[in-house]
Structure 1
Amino acid sequence: MIFDALPILSVGRVKGTRALYPAAAAIALAVFVIDAFTMIDIAVAVLYATVVLLVASAGSRVTTANVAWGCVALTLLGFMLSHDGHYSDGSVARCVVSLLAIATTSILALRNQASNDTLRKQLEMLDLTHDAIIVYDIDDRVTFWNQGAERLYGWTAQEAMGQPLHELTQTRASTMPIDEIRSETLLHGGWHGELQRMRKDGETVFISSRCTLWRDDRGKPLAILATSNDITARKRMEEELQRQQDELRATIDAIPGMVWSSSRDGCPDYMNRRWNEYGVELADDVRDIWQSIVHPDDLPAMQAAWREAVATGSALETTARIRRKDGVYRWMHVGAEPLRDANGDIVRWYGVNTDIEEHKQTQQALERSEAFLSDAQRLSRTGSIATRVPECDMGWSDETYRIFDVPRHVTPSVELIAARTHPDDIDIVKRAHERALRGESHIDSEFRLLLTDGSVKHVHYVAHLSAPVSGKVEYVGALMDVTDRVTAQEALDRSTAELAHVTRVTMLGEMAASIAHEVTQPLAAIVTAGDAAARWLNRPRPDLDEVGLSIGHMTRDAKRATDIIRQIRAMAQKRDPSPMPLDLNALAREAIELLRRELEAHAIEVETGDLQHVLRVSVDRVQIQQVVINLMMNAVQAMSAVNDRVRRLKIVTHKVDDGHAQLSVEDTGSGISEENSHRLFSPFFTTRKEGMGIGLSICRSIVEAHGGRIWAESQEGAGTTMQFILPLDEPAKVES
């Protein structure tokens, strides 16, 4: 075969040249000597053909032709020298035969050289190609290995020649086994596909191979010509692209939204895995999938938005309810952007549907909550105020605007609050604002608003310091319209005062005997002193000293009667409370004197602590005296049924601390049960059949109105201690 000779021609030519030329010259010289100088009667010159063949196998065509002509010349020269002019027919014939042999051999050698030169040029052209060209026989033995194969696989032609190709390169195919590839090549005369082979350095390469079967004239397979090009980079790029595509697809499938793409006319052609949860699959015969999944109430708006986006090329932004495969509709935000080519024409659309069901429900719940809050604020007349410090940026609720009687478009500010504040309360608002600027944690103040129509509102503002995530310090507060409460409280105070007056008048009725005794006693003393003065004057010699003494007694008793009547009148009068600095012990002593007759009538011993020192409090005389008398009367009534022990009433006062004084009324009555003790100061609760149940309730109102506190301590069967505390008028100065 020609491919068997190619390696000799291409590789062994240069190395054999130096050895063939001397051999050819030696043979030519030997043939010439034998032919010219020996008497051998044979055609020795025929051996010159060997010389031509040797030169032709190693030299060029020119050299071969020159050697051929040289051999002809040597043949003729030898013929002439060997016969000395005597030429016989036989010798001439031998010479002609030799010349014909030389000529024939030369012509054939030159033709063979021409063919080899053509083939060599073709092989050189094959070596110039970048592709790897390999020829191997039916047994897979390599018979040709070009430079492209050397570059691709790393083995030289000498190393590859005669080696089993598939074992040498560890050939593998992803589509079919190697034996099947060989069978298909033999059956169909060729095969093409991708193979994976191993280079000499152990690196794996991917090739695109095309095999062609070479047959002889009888159709017998002789060899296989395989051309291959390296597609390793492309293959790796394809693998990397496929990996990126798989990663991108996995990423898109992992997106919680419903990703889709469509042609430029809006027909969807791709959907990610999230669509499977909604039971939606692409079908060639379905172009409008939206009609089957969008809520009927939302479909017209959705289609209109989609048609407008396709027509104008603008982005799609809309919301609609989309049905899942279980039949449940969920709110979706549908968004899409167009992809344009270099000319700005839309190529396709990419979109994503985002589930906003929770957001929608939260938004609806927030709207309901805001509506409920607005209604609740309107019903409770409570507005909210958020104030950022130190900028004093404010946010008001609708109810706050209503309370201040300000239009909704007006920007809230501290100046606006000050403008609406009653002039007499402006200092209260300023102090609250200064406390906020100092960063106090809690602010609580009450002030009045003077509205444009001249009406006055009472408001109560409370706020606490808040530090949100943003780091901005602000106050969150509530502004309550307490006008009705203040009005009701004023009415209640008036009612309480009237009730307290009624109680005092009733109590005076109960104390009528004691009052009559207290008034009668000084009047009787006045009469007695007057009679005595008259007798001292009617004597023959009037005793003026005694008369003066009697008149002094009359004046003292008249003042005493006047004080008693004044106290009774003060308790009977209806008037507003008038606090002033008074001695709590003096009030207690006066109460004891007013009830002296009542105490003696019930055989009650009075025990007092040190009531002579001064314990000054700022109170209304009549109201606090009413409290003391009421507590003493309750003690008298509690001991009226006691016969097995001494009836004792004990009144004690003392200083609790630097700011408060306490008065206690202790009796030895039957006490109060635990069940009744919790309701003792409740209105209309009483343990006496003839009682109204308002005395202690009035006492509590009076004490608390003075900033104090009243309570009872009792053990059933062992008496009761009623006590209250009041703020001192001058805590730092307690006179003695």
Structure 2
Amino acid sequence: MTQTPVRLHTWLRLQREGVPLGVRADALCRAVRGCPEVRQAFYLSWQPGARIYSHEGGGQQLPPGQGDPLQASDEALAARLAAEGRLGLDQVRQLECWLAGRLRRAGISHGQAFALSLDAGPPGMLLVEVHEGVSLDWLGWVHELLTTLLGSINGLLRASPLLGQDPQPSLLLDAEARPLELNAALLTLLGEQPLEHALRLLPVNHVALVRACLDQARAIEGVEAQCGERVLIWTYIPDAQERRVLARCREATAQILTEREAARARRLYRLITENTTDLISRHTPDGRFLDASPASWTLLGYWPEELRGQLAQCLFHPQEVAQLVQRAQDALEQDGYHTMTYRIRHRAGHYLWFETASRAIRETYTGAVVEVVSVSRDITARVQAEENRRRLAEVVEANTDPVLFVDPAGHITYLNPAARKALGLAVRQPMPALSEVIAADDLARLQREGWSTAERLGVWKLDTRLQPPAGGASVPVSMVLLAHKSAGGERYYSLVARDMTERELREAQQRRHQDELAHTARLVTLGELASGIAHEINQPLAAVMNYAGASQRYLQALGSNPEAARRVAQGLERITEHANHASEVIKRLRAFLRKGQRRMQALDVAEVAREAVRLCAWEAGASQVAIEEQLPENLPPVFADRVLLEQVLLNLLRNAIDANREAHPGQPSLIRLIARAEAGQVLIDVRDQGPGLDEEALGRIFTPFYTSKPDGLGLGLSMSRSIIEGFGGALDGMPDEAGGLLMRCRLPRQ
């Protein structure tokens, strides 16, 4: 009941503004339905040509009448309404008119029909159904009220120039944030929802906003409101004299979602750049820093701002700087890439071993090197580890790594200080048994193969965890079993354990980083294959349209052609087949673009290889390259991530297509995709008929930023090798016996 005055006010304003009849009719019906006694309300206008009453607005409608629609007529009803002004619905149902049949079919009998014209032209009718048991006497008062309001409409409402013809959804609110009027655009936005639902479209703090708008006598704009999946931006404009506020909104769903997605992409890029353990940097051709990633602080002790403008060679070791700079400049100028290993000075003064891969960015027209992008990693730990292994026997006591002397019976005879600290043992505490500090499975492996291997080769390694005998957190270690011989010829053994906690964390970060890079590469690949994808989808769609057209023609000939029904059935079968084909293409693309953590599972190599062939089939056909598949059905399964393995095979196939196109422009050529099982492994060969690579180029093809393509980035093969090695396999390139290049992927059997 509290909303009825607002509904009437809104209808009268819309009536005065002359908005379309359908909008006014909906507002009137909504106002009448606000009375609790009313069950339904319909507004119908007289159609002189058809001689019947028809619905106006987008609300619920009565069902069609009974009998022949061409003979339908409501003239008898129109005459009675013109003479009497209103009729009971039971009287209408007894008339010989089209509307009587519609009421009977709808089961409506309790209410009245009013003669009420919202326009100056043809007459109209308001049909009101009330609940059973409610008296109809008060409806006469409603009829007189509505007629009176229509007759004096220009004197009832104050002008609302800001709300009148506003194309944006708007409403007028009083000082307590209660709605006074709604414009046509907001009613359209509400649709069939109750009028009170307009408040759900406003921001959650709309009451406070209205008060602030009036108290401060200023407009408040840019307030966001979330309505399900829709985003609206509201502006509040005060009317200080009347103590009311005009609230206007605009649809901003697409804009806001686009901005949020762009912000997420920027955050993701920044997250990858700022959290990678490698140093990514940009330089001028003479080696001066233009920018660097935050890893510069972790690796070198310098913030990126401190490195900008500084020459990189100023940090090189004096013994290496001259040859390194000249060699790098020559290689970047000639080949566009360069990889080097060198010593670089940390801010604290000590030197670290770095491995840097650099790529030249050239000016588009002249080809001159204008910038150099480098990826550097700290390999000091690797270099020092090699050095420490040579000195291990002499520095056991001072070694920071845990060292345990053991015998084949499992007795520990000595622990260095680092080992006692890792195991939580005091200096005078007795030696624990080996079974107390190493898991049973690892101890069994040590007994099974460790001792014999160390005797034969001198060394045996195991990644395990050291467990303190008294309890507590275990420590991940890389453990080495060494066999020694004393001066008296006696044999003894040592276990050297290196804490690998940081490596576990770093490897997890690197895997996440590699997965993000792999997903980005898949997006780039999909863009490059866009023409083929469009062709593969358009082909079944065109076939569907052809079969649909033919089926329509056969349907028209059902009476004269006995084969028409069978032809239509065949057409529908073909439409289903081609629609399923288009659906499978889309499913493959969605699976290929999957983003998330790796899903290691047992895979059929032949099935994954065929999916990769399908993705590049159109590109191969456009280049006149045939792909010959030799994929046996009985291959043993491998344990890998399906999407990443498919990405590697697709990268190898597309490289082969480019090589064939370069060697055989405009001529047919062949790529052979072969899979087979061999010595506990599954081998996948991609053989092309391209120009091949010399021995020097073969040694560099897996280096980051190395590429022979003018528009390539040189990251595809490097990333592919990292992915395959992550599965426990290997990826190698070699000259093919028949010419061209052979790329061989080795994966361990499950």
Please report the TM-score for the alignment, with normalisation by the length of structure 2. Answer: 0.43
Please report the TM-score for the alignment, with normalisation by the length of structure 1. Answer: 0.43
The structure where helix makes up a greater share of residues is 1
